[in-house]
Amino acid sequence: MTQEEVLSAFKDTGALLEGHFELRSKLHSNRYFQCANVLRFPRIAAKLCDAVVEKAKAGCDLGRVDGVISPAVGGILVGHEVARALDVKCVFAEKVQGEGVDASGKPNTVLAMRRFTLKPGERYVVAEDVVTKGGRVQETIDLVKAAGCEVAAVVLLVDRSGGTVTFGDIPMFSLMQMTPETWTAGECPMCKAGGRPVHPGS
């Protein structure tokens, strides 16, 4: 798929939103990818995930892959479709309460394997819908490695970092790269104008 075709799929399904948003990274932006909207449509989701799998196969030697793992919640549907395309199992890591609270006073959350067990020696592809700073993907990679497993590649629908996020020597593939405008809360012009951000992913 071309970048234009991917962008069209997001726009046509209402997955690319414009407004005043606070991202999971706590940065503010005037654009937000709500991938759940494009993933509502199974045939479109399948086409997008097939395309990113083909891109990964062309860009690295996936070799043996035992499964696909995703961070909940946004990555679960992507992981399922990527696993279908690779004909392997899919599992996901879930948010659990961590220590302390975040800047807004909410309890910190971390990822953990609650329903599934990773067996030492297995090889996984990590799948996610969107990354800005890549924190949840890195947590997922850390879980895989802590279980004695290997990460073959990371696949994404949208890389909001514009290519600045990397995961060491693990190859990463996305269907679309964008560098949207982002600001800290203190620098956000929409906040300065009296606006309040929304959290469409929560």
* CATH number, position 64: 3.40.50.2020
pLDDT of residue 175: 93
Classify burial at 55, counting beta carbons within 10 Å of its beta carbon; exposed 0-12, middle 13-18, buried 19 or more: middle
Q: Average pLDDT of 166-188?
A: 91
The closest of 4, 70, 52, 6 to 33, measured between CA atoms, is 6
Q: Is 114 inside any structural domain?
A: yes
Percentage of residues in the chain having pLDDT higher than 90? 66
Q: Is 110 inside any structural domain?
A: yes
Q: Is 74 inside any structural domain?
A: yes
The pTM of this model reads 0.84
What is the spatial order of strands in the sheet that 16-22 belongs to? 16-22, 28-33, 182-183
Q: Which of 21-25, 72-76, 186-190, 195-199 has the lowest mean pLDDT?
A: 21-25
Beta bridge partners of 151: 124
Q: Is 35 inside any structural domain?
A: no
Q: Is 199 inside any structural domain?
A: no
Q: Is 135 inside any structural domain?
A: yes
pLDDT of residue 103: 67
Cβ–Cβ < 8 Å for 201, 24:
yes
Give yes or no for residue 81 having a pLDDT over 70: yes
pLDDT of residue 166: 94
**How does 137-156 read in b/e, with b if 16+ C-beta sit within 10 Å?**
bbbbbebbeebebbbbbbbb
Residues 6+ apart with CB under 8 A from 117: none
Cβ–Cβ < 8 Å for 126, 144:
yes
pLDDT tens figures, 12-56: 999 988 899 988 778 899 988 888 999 999 999 999 999 999 999
Cβ–Cβ < 8 Å for 18, 138:
no
* CB half-sphere exposure, 202, CA atoms < 13 A: 10
Q: Is 111 inside any structural domain?
A: yes
In the chain, the number of structural domains is 1
pLDDT tens figures, 112-155: 999 999 999 999 999 999 998 899 999 999 999 999 999 999 99
Give yes or no for residue 202 having a pLDDT over 50: no
The closest of 201, 200, 159 to 73, measured between CA atoms, is 201
pLDDT of residue 17: 85
For residue 79, the enclosing domain spans 41-178
pLDDT of residue 201: 62
Q: Is 139 inside any structural domain?
A: yes
